[in-house]
């Protein structure tokens, strides 16, 4: 029997003003799964990711992430090292003078040796195809390159889980294709919050529909994304590739 890498029961989250964004969610994810988290704007997708990454307060009856029981002691502080979050806007994640320093920031703060940090940075740069950009200023890069630098920063931390919040947003066709290839070549457990259903079909095997802070559907990605009635009821459309064509 496979032990889930994410096992959450009765998860709830509310903003500072008391508005609830997550309502009693139960979620089990197995190691190596790649899952599309879909839903309209304001459905709770980002809030769910912030909870899993341990970046906001939450309530739950069970909250185990990669072997860590976040409800015990100060274990919640360990979550960001296990579940790394890629923000919607890469500029929110890039703040160092060079690409190399940005990627090294996480491993350095994990207390790794200089040799280990260097090795992690090299591997991450190679994985996202940015070796030649290592000395560039991040904010002078294209949107697609920034996305890859931000992703490399996560990979260098060697997390067990990648939480990717709208990773293809604002990318041109070439950058989007590069991102899809990187994700498909990567063996991490991945949760991908996205409105890009064609990308979800290429990168994920399972889809979870979230709306008004509740999980309303969970199944094979093609089954969920081909369900016209289900998607329409939640303000979404079947992707072009799954529509019947004459």
| pLDDT mean over 50-58 | 95
Question: What pLDDT is attached to residue 244?
Answer: 82
- pLDDT tens-digit series, residues 57-108: 999 999 999 999 999 999 999 999 899 999 988 888 888 999 999 999 999 9
**Helix/strand/coil for 204:** coil
- pLDDT tens-digit series, residues 167-200: 998 888 998 999 999 999 999 999 999 999 999 9
CB 53 within 8 A of CB 68: no
In 3D, which of 175, 127, 191 has the Cα closest to residue 153? 127
Q: What is the pTM of this model?
A: 0.94
Q: Using CA atoms of 129, 191, 222, 241 in order, give the dihedral in degrees to the nearest 10.
A: -40
* Domain map (residue ranges) of the chain: 6-242
Tokens of residue 165, six digits: 């919040």
| pLDDT mean over 130-154 | 91
Separation CA 204–CA 207 (nearest Å): 7
- CATH number of this structure's domain 6-242: 3.40.50.300
CB 149 within 8 A of CB 141: yes
Separation CA 77–CA 75 (nearest Å): 5
């Amino acid at each position: 029997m496979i032990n889930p890498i994410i096992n959450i029961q009765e998860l709830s989250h509310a903003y500072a003003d008391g508005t609830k964004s997550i309502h009693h969610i139960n979620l089990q994810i197995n190691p190596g799964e790649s899952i599309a988290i879909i839903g309209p704007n304001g459905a709770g997708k980002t809030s769910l990711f912030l909870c899993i990454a341990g970046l906001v307060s939450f309530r739950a009856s069970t909250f185990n992430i990669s072997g860590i029981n976040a409800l015990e002691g100060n274990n919640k502080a360990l979550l960001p090292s296990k579940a790394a979050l890629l923000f919607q806007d890469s500029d929110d994640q890039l703040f160092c003078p060079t690409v190399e320093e940005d990627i090294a920031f996480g491993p350095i703060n994990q207390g790794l040796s200089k040799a280990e940090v260097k090795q992690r940075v090299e591997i991450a740069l190679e994985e996202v195809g940015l070796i030649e950009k290592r000395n560039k200023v991040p904010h002078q890069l294209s949107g697609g390159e920034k996305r890859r630098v931000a992703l490399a920063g996560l990979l260098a931390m060697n997390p067990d889980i990648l939480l990717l919040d709208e990773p293809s947003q604002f990318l041109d066709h070439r950058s989007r294709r590069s991102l899809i290839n990187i994700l498909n070549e990567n063996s991490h457990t991945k949760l991908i919050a996205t409105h890009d259903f064609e990308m979800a079909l290429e990168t994920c095997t399972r889809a979870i529909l979230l709306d008004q802070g509740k999980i309303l559907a969970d199944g094979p990605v093609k089954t969920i994304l081909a369900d016209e009635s289900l998607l329409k009821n939640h303000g979404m459309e079947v992707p072009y590739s799954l529509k019947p064509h004459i």
